[in-house]
Structure 1
Amino acid sequence: MKIVVDAGKCQNHGQCAISAPTNFELTAGGELQYQESFDEENIADIEDAIDACPLQAIFLNQDARD
């Protein structure tokens, strides 16, 4: 599984970085950076980040291979 952010929807609100700081962060310039791969121990935070996104721009690609 991998994290996917729809760059066309994302407006860098940063709610994901608050919910899952291990996987998401805003740069000093306000741009979102994230890690596609993640440890299963972080899944709850990532799901919180998905739920917190006001534009529904984050999802998990369950077909992705590591």
Structure 2
Amino acid sequence: MLPGSTDFADSGAAADPTDPTPSPPAGLRLVVDLNRCQSYGQCVYAAPSVFRFHGEEALEYDYAPAPGARREVERAAAACPVQAITLGRATEPAPQAPEGVR
């Protein structure tokens, strides 16, 4: 996870009754098919708080973005020319980086 990001299930954020976007269900995860991704970078421009490049082509992303980033993530998914980005529900716990790796 990128620094400062939170998991939907742990956010504790209250739903905004004036927001027409439904609150994301607990356990919602961002999924990027890295076999499809061609590093066009449209996601980085659409949701810079969630996506970034490490080096020239290695995509890094927050698999459990903060609830406030949902619209950015939806725009990023729509902008992806190879449709490699989806929002999905986690079927198992999210992977953790090995200790000492950031």
TM beyond 0.5: yes
- Structure 1: which 5+ runs fail to align? none
**Shift of residue 30 of structure 1?**
2.0
> Is 2:48 the partner of 1:18?
no
**Shift of residue 31 of structure 1?**
1.4
Q: Which amino acid counterpart does residue 12 of structure 1 have in structure 2?
A: S
- Structure 2: which 5+ runs fail to align? 1-27, 95-102
The TM-score with structure 2 as length reference comes to 0.60
Residue 2 (structure 1) aligns with: 29
Residue 77 (structure 2) aligns with: 50
Q: Which amino acid counterpart does residue 82 of structure 2 have in structure 1?
A: L
Q: Percent of aligned positions with the same letter in both sequences?
A: 35
Higher relative CO (Cα under 8 Å, sequence separation at least 6) belongs to 1
**Shift of residue 28 of structure 1?**
2.4
Aligned residues: 65
Structure number with larger C-alpha Rg = 2
Pairwise CA RMSD: 1.4
